[in-house]
Amino acid sequence: MDVLLDNLDLFGPFFLTTIELFLIAGACSLVLGTILAMLRVSPVPMLRAIGTTYVTVLRNTPLTLVFAFLVFAYPLLDIVKIDYFPTAAVALTIYTSAFICEVVRSGINTVPIGQAEAGRALGLSSGQILGGIVLPQALRSVVPPLVSMLIALLKNTTIASGFSVAEAGAIRQYVSERGDNQMIALLWVALGFIILVSVLSLVQRSLEKRWSVAR
Amino acid sequence: MRIRTLAAALLAGGLLLTACGKEGTPAGSGGDANTNAAALPTYEVAKDVKLDGSPVFTKIKSAGTITIGVKDDQPELGQKDPKTGKFQGFDIEIARMVAAGLGFGEDKIKYTTVDSAAREQAISNGQVDLYVGTYTISDKRKKLVSFGGPYFQAGQDLLVRKDDTSITGPETLKGKKVCSVTGSTPIQRVREQKLTDQIVEFQKYSQCVEKLQTKDVDAVTTDDAILKGYAAQDPDSFKVVGKPFSKEPYGIGLNKDDKVLRDKIDDLLQAAETNGTWKKIYDATLGKSGAPATPPAIERY
Amino acid sequence: MSTVLFDTPGPKARMRHRIYAVLGILVVAALIAFVIYRFIDSGQFSGRKWEWLQYSQVQSDLATAVLATVKAFALGAVLAIVFGAVFAAGRLSDHAWVRGFCTFIVEFFRAIPLLILMFLFYYGLPTLGVDTSPLFAVVLGLTLYNGSVLAEVFRAGIQSLPKGQSEAAYALGMRKTQVMFTVLLPQALRAMLPTIISQLVVLLKDTALGFLVTYPELLYYARYIGSQGDFGRPIVPSTIVAAAIYIAMCLLLTALATYLERRNRRSKKHIDTGAKDAADLTAAATGGLRGGPF
């Protein structure tokens, strides 16, 4: 208990940063993931190829390497300097969106073909079909895996602690240097994450109830 | 099929890049750690060393090897040469010297890399017999392990670019970007004393030094011993400011209750300090950074 | 060829697609050229930054590091599958206390970041007197975490099997445990193979976290090389090489999976568990489990 109270100046702000990072990266990766899914199912072969390459590369690279590239290789390109927190958000976004793309894509596959055919019969363009008919239904049917992705994102934010973002993953190092018991600190951090994950699970359950699809 | 071709393409690409790497002129900058400016001293392996009452010594004597915990990524201090796999540096030499004094030649030493946070556990559960790796003596640590030495008096300092004259000490850091390892004592000190509000933290000092070179940070802060190593590698690019603002005495960590061994180690260190071996070791490693140092007084307890 | 969403492209559309293709290739090529140009400018492709690859010690150490990664992966994969099977069976048990216990364990380990789990084992267990080598901490962390995820995958797999399988087994007089382990689990394994393999890819990538507990695997070695001043601190080149190796390993694993799946479909033991939609949805529901990607 002392470990928590003595180091409250660490636990509070660091977890806050974790939550901030999660919210920003989560929102952006949902958007980017959906765009990528649209690329992957588009009729234009070039767009499909771009989408597939992006997803294949990012799904098979460890997140730490994605971070390393952005933190050390990107500044060498000398385009626009990005600070460390935004860099972490970008890294998490581009990584998670690859997985969200796959989930949304499998969601698109569950929408009955008849929906798209009806849209075509009405003379809608592919963009309109995708955006107005297919995607809303697809997203509703994949709420559980989407929320699971977001929970994974929440836990992945700890990687950012190795790249100059003062968030929950860094707590252990601070506490150990201060001479306090690391094990207790780690247990408190684990508890913090369990609480956050439970919140997300509750959100998932309520969304499922509201949007459950009767087929 | 597509996956296989992609994998094959990646492997081929990797090999191609290797070929690319062989061309071009190496843009070297001073750091040639193989040829030492001064020569390293050789140590005479003591024979028939007897230390009654030392459980650790009994153990290593019967095992025939001594396991020493070290660092492997601190240049000129505790470093593993990737070309040969051999350990080298100031701490390593001190370790070699002590081991020789205990009767163990180079071939009987087993070096193990131990993470900073796990040092106390590694020593107390016998995973390593001694630990020589920028191990600062502190009262909190003395509750778990004991220390021989100190064998080097380090202090928190700053590493800056060679041509940077604006940073001369901790008070000139306002508005500058300072880098160190996540959660390390030096960076916590910077935070507490509010020396600057632009703090950057990475997992390795070398990453900080790299950012220093690309002008993304203005100063790297940690113990001056570590900084001197980086300066020694690139004396044309970096310099240590030279105004330490803390006291970090480095000691040899060993089992908490083994007073006999501790006394023996203190004797060996004292001898090295008086007969010039210490200075020879320093000049051949950290001394290459151009900064002088004096051996500290041994604290026996 | 008409897909779900779009009609077959007519001649004008095909022309447009061809133009997009050419434009797209030009844009991508320009981007890559820009990146390479900038890298060369900042000296990342200079010989000095890549000479580390030439040394035989470096090459053999790199190979050792890759082997360490594969070793941790192999141990973790086998143990995780076993753990997952046992706890999936536990969650479907008839006894409430077994169910509750297994559910708690699975939910608990899925909620903690793998990083924290590995730290807990490596730094925490020694304070309790248990000697932990980095390998032990890494494999234990991987097993518990991925095993919990796989438990959910197996559970979904078992529940997607036709009821007739278990009914027939019971009719033959088999006991619950026998039914679970000889009839249901093997089929569930085969049915959920794609999801299982993708989780194993995640496991392979998760071994990269071992560098934080000083387990000498590939990322640890890449970091170490990147920090060597002798080689000019080749952070970017070492990262590129490490990324290429990881991608190659993961792709090979996925290729293995696809091959096994294809063989599986032709095998007599395979049961078609209904429409592709259902399998897709189950895969989606479990493929990105609360702990899915690393």
In the predicted model, is pLDDT for residue A141 greater than 90? no
Instruction: With beta carbons under 8 A apart, name residues in chain C contacting A189.
Output: 116
Cβ–Cβ pairs < 8 A, chains A and C: 205
Model pLDDT, residue B73: 82
Alpha helices in C267-292 (DSSP H): 276-287
Instruction: Flag if C53 and B18 touch (Cβ within 8 Å).
Output: yes
Instruction: With beta carbons under 8 A apart, name residues in chain B contacting C47.
Output: 21-26
Instruction: Flag if C227 and B234 touch (Cβ within 8 Å).
Output: no
The 10s digit of each residue's pLDDT in C219-260 is 888 888 888 877 778 888 888 889 999 999 999 988 887 887
Instruction: Flag if C281 and A182 touch (Cβ within 8 Å).
Output: no
For CA atoms B124, B129, B134, B138, give the dihedral sign.
positive
Instruction: Flag if C229 and B13 touch (Cβ within 8 Å).
Output: no
Instruction: Flag if C230 and B210 touch (Cβ within 8 Å).
Output: no
The 10s digit of each residue's pLDDT in A19-78 is 999 999 999 999 999 999 888 888 788 888 889 999 999 999 999 899 988 888 888 777
SS (H, E, C) B120-177: HHHHHCCCCCEECCCCECCHHHHCCCEEEEEEEEECEEEEEECCCCCCCCHHHHCCCE
| Location of structure tokens 């997009």 | C20
Instruction: Flag if A60 and C205 touch (Cβ within 8 Å).
Output: yes
Other residues' Cβ atoms within 10 Å of the Cβ of residue C4: 16
**Token pair recorded at residue B55:** 């459980």
Instruction: With beta carbons under 8 A apart, name residues in chain A contacting B216.
Output: 75
Helices C96-111, C56-91: crossing angle, 10 deg rounding: 150
Going by pLDDT thresholds of 50, 70 and 90, the confidence category of residue B14 is low
Please, are residues A171 and A185 in contact by the beta-carbon 8 Å criterion?
Answer: yes
The 10s digit of each residue's pLDDT in A110-129 is 788 888 888 888 888 877 88
Model pLDDT, residue A93: 95
Other residues' Cβ atoms within 10 Å of the Cβ of residue C120: 21
Model pLDDT, residue A1: 66
Distance (Å) from the alpha carbon of B203 to chain A's nearest alpha carbon: 6
Nearest-by-Cβ selection for B113 from C50, C214, C245: C214
Instruction: With beta carbons under 8 A apart, name residues in chain B contacting C58.
Output: 82-83
Distance (Å) from the alpha carbon of B124 to chain C's nearest alpha carbon: 10
Nearest-by-Cβ selection for A126 from C6, C114, C116: C6
Cα radius of gyration (chain B):
21
> Which H helix or E strand runs over B249?
strand B248-254
> Which H helix or E strand runs over B100?
helix B90-101
The 10s digit of each residue's pLDDT in C24-67 is 888 888 988 888 888 887 777 777 778 888 888 888 888 999 99
Going by pLDDT thresholds of 50, 70 and 90, the confidence category of residue B4 is low
Q: Which residues of chain C have pLDDT under 70?
A: 1-7, 129, 265-294
Please, are residues C285 and C156 in contact by the beta-carbon 8 Å criterion?
Answer: yes
Instruction: Flag if B202 and A177 touch (Cβ within 8 Å).
Output: no
Closest alpha carbon to B269 in B39, B37, B43, B40: B43
**Token pair recorded at residue B225:** 């011993």
Model pLDDT, residue A22: 94
Instruction: Flag if A84 and B200 touch (Cβ within 8 Å).
Output: yes
Chain center to CA of C59: 26
- Say which residue, A135 or A32, is predicted with more confidence: A32
> Which H helix or E strand runs over B259?
helix B259-274
Name A122's Cβ contacts closer than 8 Å, sequence gap at least 6.
Answer: none
Q: Is C114 helix (H, G, I), strand (E, B) or coil?
A: helix
**Does residue C53 belong to the interface with chain B, where contact is any CB pair within 8 Å?**
yes
Instruction: Flag if C284 and A99 touch (Cβ within 8 Å).
Output: no
Instruction: Flag if B29 and C127 touch (Cβ within 8 Å).
Output: no
The rounded percent of chain C whose pLDDT value lies above 90 is: 14
Instruction: Flag if B26 and C226 touch (Cβ within 8 Å).
Output: no
Instruction: With beta carbons under 8 A apart, name residues in chain A contacting C155.
Output: none
Instruction: Flag if B83 and C58 touch (Cβ within 8 Å).
Output: yes
Closest alpha carbon to B102 in B46, B39, B29, B182: B46
**Token pair recorded at residue B227:** 């900084």
β-pair partners for B153: B249
The 10s digit of each residue's pLDDT in B262-300 is 888 998 888 888 888 888 888 888 888 777 888 888 888
Nearest-by-Cβ selection for A60 from C17, C246, C291: C246
**Does residue C227 belong to the interface with chain B, where contact is any CB pair within 8 Å?**
yes
Model pLDDT, residue A92: 94
How many residues are given for chain B?
A: 301
Instruction: Flag if A75 and B210 touch (Cβ within 8 Å).
Output: no
Q: How many CA atoms does the CB half-sphere of B276 hold within 13 Å? A: 3
**Does residue A56 belong to the interface with chain B, where contact is any CB pair within 8 Å?**
yes
Mean pLDDT of A140-149: 82
Nearest-by-Cβ selection for B21 from C47, C214, C235: C47
Q: C32-36 contacts: CB < 8 A, separation 24 or more? A: C34/A77, C35/A77
List the B248-254 sheet strands across, edge first.
B109-113, B66-70, B130-131, B248-254, B146-154
Helices A143-156, A84-110: crossing angle, 10 deg rounding: 160
Nearest-by-Cβ selection for B24 from C46, C233, C247: C46
The 10s digit of each residue's pLDDT in B113-159 is 887 877 888 888 788 899 998 898 888 888 888 998 899 988 899 99
Instruction: Flag if B25 and C46 touch (Cβ within 8 Å).
Output: yes
**Does residue A192 belong to the interface with chain B, where contact is any CB pair within 8 Å?**
no
Q: What whole-number distance in Å separates Cα of residue A81 and Cα of residue A91?
A: 15
Instruction: Flag if A164 and B200 touch (Cβ within 8 Å).
Output: yes
Distance (Å) from the alpha carbon of A4 to chain C's nearest alpha carbon: 16
Shortest CA distance from C4: residue in chain A: A113
The 10s digit of each residue's pLDDT in A89-109 is 999 999 999 999 988 888 888
Mean pLDDT of B170-179: 88
Q: What whole-number distance in Å separates Cα of residue C227 and Cα of residue C218?
A: 14
**Does residue B39 belong to the interface with chain C, where contact is any CB pair within 8 Å?**
no
The 10s digit of each residue's pLDDT in B190-226 is 888 888 888 888 888 888 998 898 888 899 999 988 8
| Whole-number Cα distances in Å, B43 to A77, B38, B231 | 50, 16, 27
Q: Is C67 helix (H, G, I), strand (E, B) or coil?
A: helix
Nearest-by-Cβ selection for B188 from A75, A162, A174: A174
Instruction: With beta carbons under 8 A apart, name residues in chain B contacting A166.
Output: 201
Please, are residues C202 and C254 in contact by the beta-carbon 8 Å criterion?
Answer: no
Model pLDDT, residue C268: 58
Distance (Å) from the alpha carbon of C171 to chain B's nearest alpha carbon: 44
Model pLDDT, residue C72: 92
Residue by residue, DSSP assigns chain A as -HHHHHTHHHHHHHHHHHHHHHHHHHHHHHHHHHHHHHHHT-S-HHHHHHHHHHHHHHHTS-HHHHHHIIIIIGGGG-S----HHHHHHHHHHHHHHHHHHHHHHHHHHHS-HHHHHHHHHTT--HHHIIIIIIHHHHHHHTHHHHHHHHHHHHHHGGGGGGBT--SGGGHHHHHHHTTS-HHHHHHHHHHHHHHHHHHHHHHHHHHHHHHPPP-
| Whole-number Cα distances in Å, B200 to A70, A166, B175, B180, B187 | 15, 9, 13, 7, 9
Instruction: With beta carbons under 8 A apart, name residues in chain C contacting B286.
Output: none
Instruction: With beta carbons under 8 A apart, name residues in chain A contacting B138.
Output: 179
Please, are residues B46 and B100 in contact by the beta-carbon 8 Å criterion?
Answer: yes
Name C13's Cβ contacts closer than 8 Å, sequence gap at least 6.
Answer: A43
Burial of C124 (0-12, 13-18, 19+ CB in 10 A): buried
Model pLDDT, residue B38: 66
Instruction: Flag if C293 and A152 touch (Cβ within 8 Å).
Output: yes
Going by pLDDT thresholds of 50, 70 and 90, the confidence category of residue B28 is very low
Q: Is the peptide bond before B150 cis (omega within 30 degrees of 0)?
A: yes
A3-28 burial, b for 16+ CB within 10 Å, e for fewer? Answer: bbeebeebbeebbebbeebbebbbeb
Q: Is B247 helix (H, G, I), strand (E, B) or coil?
A: coil
Please, are residues C19 and C13 in contact by the beta-carbon 8 Å criterion?
Answer: no
Model pLDDT, residue B23: 31
Among B2, B5, B11, pick the best mutation site for testing chain C contact (most C Cβ within 10 A). Answer: B11
**Does residue B210 belong to the interface with chain A, where contact is any CB pair within 8 Å?**
yes
Instruction: With beta carbons under 8 A apart, name residues in chain A contacting B203.
Output: 162-163
Q: How many CA atoms does the CB half-sphere of A84 hold within 13 Å? A: 23
Instruction: Flag if B117 and C47 touch (Cβ within 8 Å).
Output: no
**Does residue A70 belong to the interface with chain B, where contact is any CB pair within 8 Å?**
no
The 10s digit of each residue's pLDDT in B231-267 is 888 888 888 887 888 888 999 999 888 888 888 899 8
